[in-house]
Structure 1
């Protein structure tokens, strides 16, 4: 009788050990799969995935629920940061653009002042004002370029833009500064409007940057032109700014 009881107990113990072993193996497999999924999710948070448990387990499900809530919080913070960064970048670009236009005009008017008509003190003061204006313009340009390096551009609103008029005005605003560097400035724009579907502020900023770079690096000449593209190229506008800067 005792042998039968021992046999039954041994069988029960073996069955329990088998169940526990199977449970342990299943738990390890679930943990490995959850770990792989978590690693993939951390590498691609933008996919909005959650960690799932392949086999039911109350304790593990509670743990993964906490992990998934943490992931949701991280995604929310990342989205808020991205929105804030985009808004800040747009504000920096707008402020930089708003400052650059009057600064260019100020430097243009300062270049028109006849130094010979001034006394020594006035010429010295004018020279100081010119240097400070140039320094401020460089600072604003760096400020603008810094904003351009941060992430992608925000979507632009498009509309009809007279590219030819904008090119004429941009060259006219900086003509004195370009001429003072001894550049031969040649402008080729038709008298009629050269219309394009674009963002006016963005086009103006691009032209200002190109002319600014030409003023810094061109050796002797700058050519600027705007025209409708050839019919074979479809409906487009061709805008060209070329200079003889030394190759890098």
Structure 2
């Protein structure tokens, strides 16, 4: 009986030691895997354990790592190629569009019939639209490449917002929209990229006008929070969650948009560590930027 107890104790100690060793090996494997998954490295997992199952687990994890790296490399290469194609196409389109605009200006100076004038107005409108789309595509390909071509500086957010609103007054008037504007008297000075701030505001206002059912509210609070709101029955909660996605458009605005406006807003805001929020309540879309 005594020998049996000693034998059982030895077996228990051996099994406990084996379990502890396996736990340590699995822990080591997990940490190694987490590190390898973060790094762009071709090194694979190593394991010190002699246990067959642990070594098979390490082999399976290495196979998964290799597949993940291959997929990531293909994605990164494809992403770079797409950006390059967009940049080249948009750049190539700028030259003929500029030439078309020049010839249209010359044509407008000539005597023409009412019918021809109507045709020229249509051509001019479509040309301007193409120029805008081309500029957006070109800009998007550049900004997603990670390039920042200016230094941060103190920006008067109030002043930039006021200027942007003034620039869009003709578009607001054309849509018959009377904006409700509330801009704090407190000067909001932030260390930001001036071009980014201006583009964020332009895109937000342009987007609001595009989707609005006839109203437009814009507010800048004392704590530097910009709030743009407008009624839009065409949008839903699902749509709002997708508005910042690349190339997303809703049906009624698709013909006038690349779907890049709010995507660019998000990219620029995040590069300046500014918060971006969107919500949809009682038929009204509200987008907020925290400067």
Query: How far does the alpha carbon of each residue in 1:172-207 deviate from its partner, in whole angstroms, 9 at most, with x for none?
Result: xxxxxxxxxxxxxxxxxxxxxxxxxxxxxxxxxxxx
Query: How far does the alpha carbon of each residue in 1:32-54 deviate from its partner, in whole angstroms, 9 at most, with x for none?
Result: 1111222222233x123322222
Residue pair 1:34, 1:53 contacting (<8 A) in 2 also? yes
Structure with bigger gyration radius = 1
The residue aligned with 2:111 is 117
In 1, the alpha carbon distance for the partners of 2:108 and 2:89 equals 32
In 1, the alpha carbon distance for the partners of 2:22 and 2:36 equals 21
The residue aligned with 1:52 is 46
**2:78 aligns to what SS in structure 1?**
helix
1:146 Cα deviation from its structure 2 partner: 2.3
**2:54 aligns to what SS in structure 1?**
helix
2:23 to 25, 28, 50: 28
In 1, the alpha carbon distance for the partners of 2:98 and 2:110 equals 23
In 1, the alpha carbon distance for the partners of 2:85 and 2:79 equals 10
Residue pair 1:34, 1:52 contacting (<8 A) in 2 also? yes
Q: How does 1:68-107 map to 2 (within 5 A)?
A: 68-107=62-101
In 1, the alpha carbon distance for the partners of 2:141 and 2:11 equals 66
In 1, the alpha carbon distance for the partners of 2:50 and 2:146 equals 43
In 2, the alpha carbon distance for the partners of 1:28 and 1:114 equals 81
The residue aligned with 1:41 is 36
Residue pair 1:115, 1:123 contacting (<8 A) in 2 also? no
Structure (1/2) with the larger helix percentage: 1
**1:135 aligns to what SS in structure 2?**
helix
Q: How does 1:129-208 map to 2 (within 5 A)?
A: 129-152=123-146
Unaligned runs of at least 5 residues, structure 1: 1-5, 154-212, 217-248
Q: CA RMSD in A?
A: 2.2
Residue pair 1:30, 1:53 contacting (<8 A) in 2 also? yes
The TM-score, its normalising length taken from structure 2, stands at 0.47
The residue aligned with 1:190 is none
